């Protein structure tokens, strides 16, 4: 819920004759309820797959894994995915903030940009997160060090994870203003920096013929640092606009 004092700043005087009315808080709330629900469902499907695979991979004696990666390595990747989920379940709040900042513009323009640009990009986040989850499951179950299939699975996991961070960074740059007091630009630069480091690790993996374990540990450590710094320094901004 938006605080009561926020409502006073969002509601605008009646438009003058001949001008198009701006957005009201009720219109923003109604649209965002649908957008947030669709986004949350798409994210939940990916997270559900990871959680369902967690027990067989780590605990079930009747479900042996065909892969040979250490459980410690898989656990590191699992934590990286979980922290990513915590952060990106709130990504749709950026849509809400965008609408609040744009409420004085003609509603037709705002709705058109929202439906044709920003909401599809937000859904793209959920799709990539789903791919990250499935890539983690495939890697955890089947990746075998020293085999080309294991290499492909590990590279795929790291590459999709990094792509999601890049997408989020570029989107945050687009929907936040340079003088914005919020954390949007900080998140964007952090995601861009850490995704760049992960890409460098991928390049180094190919150039120096590193092991799959080294690739996963190095990349997931970078991803963990990204999430921990993000959550530690700006936790309050996930609840406040």
Cα-based distances in Å from 125 to 1, 166, 171, 226, 228:
23, 10, 10, 17, 19
In tens digits, the chain (241 residues) has pLDDT values of: 444 444 434 444 444 444 456 667 777 777 777 778 888 888 999 989 898 888 787 776 555 555 667 888 999 999 999 999 999 988 877 887 777 777 677 777 788 888 888 889 989 999 999 999 999 999 888 766 655 566 788 899 999 999 999 999 999 988 887 666 678 888 999 999 999 999 999 999 888 887 888 999 999 999 999 999 999 988 787 776 5
Write down the pLDDT at residue 7.
42
Write down the pLDDT at residue 225.
97
Q: What is the CA radius of gyration of the chain?
A: 21
DSSP result, 36-96: HHHHHHHHHHHHHHHHHHHHHHHT-TTS--S----HHHHHHHHHHHHHHHHHHTTTTHHHH
Write down the pLDDT at residue 189.
93
- At residue 22, φ and ψ (nearest 5 deg) are -85, 175
Write down the pLDDT at residue 211.
85
Instruction: Give the class (CATH, top level) of 24-238.
Output: mainly alpha
pTM exceeds 0.85 for this model: no
Residues 6+ away with beta carbon under 8 Å from 105 = 22, 23
DSSP result, 142-169: H--TTSHHHHHHHHHHHHHHHHHHHHHH
């Amino acid at each position: 819920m938006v605080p009561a004092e926020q409502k006073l700043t969002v509601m605008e005087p009646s438009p003058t004759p001949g001008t198009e009315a701006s957005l009201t808080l009720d219109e923003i709330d109604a649209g965002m309820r649908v957008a947030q629900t669709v986004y949350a469902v798409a994210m939940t499907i990916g997270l559900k797959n990871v959680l369902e695979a967690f027990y067989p991979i780590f605990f079930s004696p009747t479900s042996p894994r065909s892969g040979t990666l250490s459980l410690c390595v898989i656990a590191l990747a699992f934590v990286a995915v979980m922290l990513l989920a915590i952060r990106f379940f709130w990504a749709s709040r950026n849509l809400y903030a965008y609408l609040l900042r744009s409420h004085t513009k003609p509603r037709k323009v705002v709705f058109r940009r929202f439906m044709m640009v920003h909401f599809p990009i937000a859904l793209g986040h959920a799709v990539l997160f789903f791919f990250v989850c499935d890539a983690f499951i495939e890697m955890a179950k089947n990746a075998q060090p020293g085999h080309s299939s294991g290499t492909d699975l590990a590279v795929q996991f790291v590459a999709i994870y990094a792509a999601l961070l890049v997408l989020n960074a570029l989107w945050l740059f687009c929907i936040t203003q340079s003088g914005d007091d919020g954390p949007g630009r900080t998140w964007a630069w952090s995601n861009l920096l850490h995704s760049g480091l992960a890409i460098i690790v991928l390049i180094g993996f190919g150039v120096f013929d590193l092991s799959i374990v080294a690739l996963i540990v190095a990349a997931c450590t970078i991803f963990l640092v990204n999430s921990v710094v993000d959550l530690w320094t700006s936790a309050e901004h996930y609840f406040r606009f």
